Structure 1
Amino acid sequence: MRVPSHPALPWLAASGVLLMWASSFLVIRVAGNDFSPGAMTLLRVVAASIVLLLLLALGRVRMPRSLRLWAAVLGWGVAWFAAYLVVLSAAELFLDAATTAMLVNLAPLIVAVVSGLLLGEGLSVRLLAGVLVAFSGIVLISVGASTGGLSGLGVVLGLLAALFYAGSVLAQKLLLAHVDSTSMTVIGVLAGALATVPFAPALATELRAAPLDAVLGVLYLGVFPTALAFLLWGYALTHTGAGLLSSSSLLVPALTLLLAWLLLAEVPPPLAIVGGCLCLVGAGSAVGPAIIAALRSRRRADYPEPTSTPPCPEAHPGEDPAHAPCS
């Protein structure tokens, strides 16, 4: 695992990612009235690709060193930026945003267990307990904010999105040992854009009828929750464990609830508020100690404790330096 220039930077990056991903649930819900899942995903990843092409033009992208690595990165990009986004958008056609967030956020639990058992990151009792507490909060948010009965197809799509999410995070963690996070994100988004080209006819039709605010909303999804957020996520994942970092995303449903309250004036029911508090407690207990330990280690490095060794006295005039006390 690489050492960042400051231990707080990966967690600052992760905080920005969580806010952008939480906002994306609201935008998908609104834009879903005017765009089908495939068309929305195509417009989203095309917008992200345009932004990321600047990094390619600036020479910040290094190409994978082998055909096998190329295939792995392209496959990861199709899974993250095509399959996952299409399935997620489709799930929100059948489920409310809170329930979708609950199902998708099964992924951090999957990542924490798999990375702990198979990637050698360890599976501490504190991490697992924090994940379970946060997930119980997500369940309460879903129950409190649910608008009605659950759709069987929606549940299947939500679970499938969680599997794409977990598999993509685990694959990215392995590939980051061979490809830097910026290059991987740029290549992955371009692969996702190519994979969603078959939705171009639907997008052309829907763009003619869609209102401007819906189009701007999808463009926002491409520039911020996709291009910028995944660059920051790749950076954070380079410097932290996959299970630990993914556990922080358990805050997304609580943040989504808060943003809906602030931006859409949707007052959350009491049960959902309790669930949001559990999300904060669980995620805080899961990732908080790691953040505090990293910051303390940096402080010790910047301000080392003074040594107890007394200063060396200087040799007296005329004294042979070879016989000085500290020679």
Structure 2
Amino acid sequence: MNVSRTAAAAATVTVVLWASAFVSIRSAGDAYSPGALALGRLSAGSLALGVMCLVRREGWPPRAAWRGIAISGVLWFGVYMVVLNWGEQEVDAGTAALIVNIGPLLIALLGSRLLGDAMPPRLLAGMAVSFAGAVTVGLSMSGGGGSSVLGVALCLLAAVAYAGGVVAQKPALGQAGALQVTTFGCLIGAVVCLPFAGQLVHQASDAPLSATLNMVYLGVFPTALAFTTWAYALARTTASRMGATTYAVPALVVLMAWLVLGEVPGLLTLGGGVLCLAGVAVSRSRPRARAAERAAGVSDPQPEQVP
């Protein structure tokens, strides 16, 4: 399997596992507070990643990578997970989905400004279509119960932290491996969440086994595995393109909620999910002339741009 296909497979694993996280959070979130859930998830993730590093004999990241690792660890692994868990307790799921999906747009803007990412028309068009789909899914999920100012602010902060963490992580991946960047970023996030250790210990004693198992699942798979496959794919493409790929998550959440939880989506929700996937397809597509060159065996001048 060539690098392009391997990166595409890694990105697919990421979006599927991140989508599954929304289903698991519903169970764990009933028994654990936002900070405790984030700490438990990050602790399980750090343990799993630590074992992987030992097996692979990964060393410490080089000094040049630490700045990006530290920033992404604080923002994405730490702040993002806590404030998103908190925000979803203050607003309905539809509102949270709408606000958090500003994240990929912020990644594109920051990536263009700070990393020099290209902004081809197909990427912009695809992101526009996917965002319209995310808006449609969010509106269809809205419970109509109103949204607090605090909840909206927390979800907006989550989107900003997510975007900042991704853009900071990209340069670090040029200096260190995906597993190194993910492991130490997750560990830093867990350290940031240590003030919630008392809550975690207290709530774990009363939580049902299913909630605790879901928390462990969140740490091992949507965190340890999915963040590693994300980092692997991000190292081989631009932050903007990877951000656009995450617009497949809302569509997969709708499908998983249907299959696992028996939540039958309405036509509006299904339509929004289709738009999300269509936008991702457009953002990842290449002009016909370039595709013809690749089919003819002409080398790609930009080998980093893979799905």
State how 1:203-222 maps to structure 2 within 5 Å.
203-222=200-219
1:34 aligns with 2:31: yes
* Offset of residue 299 of structure 1: 7.9
Distance across 2 between alignment mates of 1:12 and 1:84: 25
* Offset of residue 289 of structure 1: 2.9
SS where residue 8 of structure 1 aligns?
helix
> Over residues 44-70 of structure 1, what are the superposed CA-to-partner deviations in whole Å (9 max), with x where a residue is unaligned?
01111111111332354232333x643
1:274 aligns with 2:271: yes
Counterpart contact for 1:32–1:93, Cα < 8 Å: no
Distance across 1 between alignment mates of 2:174 and 2:96: 32
**Partner AA of 1:32 in structure 2:** G
Distance across 2 between alignment mates of 1:234 and 1:87: 22
Partner of residue 285, structure 2: 288
The one of 139, 149, 152 equivalent to 1:152 is 149
The verdict on how the C-alpha distance between 1:36 and 1:78 changes in structure 2, with shifts beyond 3 A counting, is same
1:104 aligns with 2:72: no
Q: How many residues align?
A: 298
> Over residues 241-286 of structure 1, what are the superposed CA-to-partner deviations in whole Å (9 max), with x where a residue is unaligned?
1101110101111111111111111111221111111111111111
Bigger shift: residues 156-165 or 89-98: 89-98
Partner of residue 302, structure 2: none
Counterpart contact for 1:29–1:92, Cα < 8 Å: no
* Offset of residue 114 of structure 1: 2.5
Distance across 2 between alignment mates of 1:270 and 1:109: 26
The one of 141, 149, 158 equivalent to 1:161 is 158
State how 1:39-188 maps to structure 2 within 5 Å.
39-58=36-55, 60-66=57-63, 69-148=65-144, 149-188=146-185
Distance across 1 between alignment mates of 2:134 and 2:143: 15
The verdict on how the C-alpha distance between 1:143 and 1:188 changes in structure 2, with shifts beyond 3 A counting, is same
Distance across 1 between alignment mates of 2:103 and 2:27: 24
Gap runs ≥5 in structure 2: 300-307
**Partner AA of 1:266 in structure 2:** E
The verdict on how the C-alpha distance between 1:77 and 1:294 changes in structure 2, with shifts beyond 3 A counting, is farther
TM-score for the superposition, normalised by structure 1: 0.85
Counterpart contact for 1:144–1:271, Cα < 8 Å: yes
**Partner AA of 2:15 in structure 1:** L
Gap runs ≥5 in structure 1: 303-327
The verdict on how the C-alpha distance between 1:294 and 1:98 changes in structure 2, with shifts beyond 3 A counting, is farther
Counterpart contact for 2:20–2:253, Cα < 8 Å: yes
Distance across 2 between alignment mates of 1:295 and 1:25: 39
* Offset of residue 72 of structure 1: 4.1
Distance across 1 between alignment mates of 2:239 and 2:262: 35
Partner of residue 321, structure 1: none
Bigger shift: residues 247-256 or 53-62: 53-62
Counterpart contact for 1:260–1:266, Cα < 8 Å: yes
> Over residues 124-171 of structure 1, what are the superposed CA-to-partner deviations in whole Å (9 max), with x where a residue is unaligned?
111111101110111111111111122322111111111011001100
**Partner AA of 2:211 in structure 1:** A
> Over residues 196-234 of structure 1, what are the superposed CA-to-partner deviations in whole Å (9 max), with x where a residue is unaligned?
121111111101110010000110000000000011000
Bigger shift: residues 162-171 or 113-122: 113-122
SS where residue 64 of structure 1 aligns?
coil
Distance across 2 between alignment mates of 1:159 and 1:261: 27
State how 1:204-243 maps to structure 2 within 5 Å.
204-243=201-240
State how 1:289-308 maps to structure 2 within 5 Å.
289=286, 297=294, 300=297
**Partner AA of 1:82 in structure 2:** G
Distance across 1 between alignment mates of 2:52 and 2:238: 26
**Partner AA of 1:233 in structure 2:** W
1:16 aligns with 2:13: yes
Counterpart contact for 1:244–1:287, Cα < 8 Å: yes
Distance across 2 between alignment mates of 1:163 and 1:103: 10
Distance across 2 between alignment mates of 1:32 and 1:92: 10
